[in-house]
Amino acid sequence: MMQDATVEKPDSDWDHLALFGQFSLMLGDDLLTQFSYDKVKALLVYLLLHTQPVNRASLAELLWPDQGLSSGRTNLRHALHCLRQSLGEEAERVLVVSRQTIAFRKPDNWRFDLHELQQLLDAPSDVTTLEKLLKRYRGDLVEELQLPACTEFQRWLVQLRNEWRQRVIRFAEEVLDQHDDVPVDLLQALVSRFSGYGPFHERLVRQLAEQGQLAAAHEQYNAYLQLLALSGQQPEPVFLQLARHWSDGSPDLQRLSPQGPSRAPWQRAARRCAKMRSSSASFR
């Protein structure tokens, strides 16, 4: 159901739909973020990302793959009912339902972060555009939604997430390639959005060091090494070489590298991470 909005509405004349990061829909003074259950949100997301009406049988098979067609259709009707309740008065305006298909018709007065993101990605690759891009790309596409039991749906969603993620990364790399000096807070935003992407960490550490902010550079350097350790990965040699910025000319990489004396803690962290992944395996 609708929740009272606790954040400022982006524009008083526009309703706002956001899919990047966590799902949110601002309608008037109400903020919708949660549904009765995850498959209701999955149904809405799937409809939103398809410009044509979707066949009911396909939806039933997609979201209830082990239920059989009859049970799947029943579950779909219930999910659609819950979706109507969540959307309230907007439901009749945005949902186009027939005996065979369901479609979502986005009103003209709804701002949609996906469309805004597309426009920015088509714009010239400059620092200002990248800053706007990162304000809208708050994280992966509906990052909180996971339906591992629905293999085809999850595969579709993961593929879309990866495609959008790679597009934003490529745009950011073009901007960084064209500018030797970009705002540090922009680099920090890139590191925050793409925490596992080494080149952005490397650029941030390098720029901080070259600007004489050695303490901040060292802190970011160690933070990335710790992140890699927790995920069981090893840093690229080019990243380790950044330690020369605060060394006396002969970097003591043994202390910082997982191959050095501190290798045992790195291995323990990697094993713990591997155990966690195996105990809570999800579709990839």
Q: Which DSSP string do the residues of 30-82 spell out, in sequence order?
A: EEE---SSHHHHHHHHHHHT-SS-EEHHHHHHHH-TTSHHHHHHHHHHHHHHH
pLDDT surpasses 50 at 18 = yes
∠ CA 161-166-170 to the nearest 5 degrees?
Answer: 155
Bridge partners (DSSP) listed for residue 204 = none
The pLDDT value recorded for residue 14 is: 75
Q: Is the per-residue pLDDT at 273 higher than 70?
A: no
Residue 177 structure tokens:
């390639």
pTM greater than the 0.85 cutoff: no
User: In whole angstroms, what is the distance from residue 15 CA to residue 11 CA?
Assistant: 8
pLDDT tens-digit map of 66-98: 998 899 999 999 999 999 999 999 999 999 999
Q: What's the average model confidence in pLDDT over 42-63?
A: 97
d(CA 231, CA 168) in angstroms, rounded, equals: 23
Band of residue 247 on the pLDDT scale cut at 50, 70, 90: confident
For the record, the structure tokens of 153 come out as: 């749906």
Q: Which residue, 265, 197, 259, is CA-closest to 234? A: 259
Tens of pLDDT, residue by residue over 153-190, are 999 999 999 999 999 999 999 999 999 889 999 999 99
Q: Is the pLDDT of residue 280 over 90?
A: no
In this prediction, what percent of the chain has a pLDDT beyond 90?
A: 70
Convert the pLDDT of each residue in 111-167 to its tens digit. 999 999 999 999 999 999 999 999 999 999 999 999 999 999 999 999 999 999 999
- What is the spatial distance between Cα 214 and Cα 225, in angstroms, rounded to a whole number? 16
- Mention every residue, 6+ apart, whose C-beta is less than 8 A from residue 252: 243
Helix axes 184-193, 198-210, angle to 10 degrees: 160
Split at pLDDT 50, 70, 90, the class of 248 is low
List pLDDT tens digits, range 211-227. Answer: 999 999 999 999 999 99
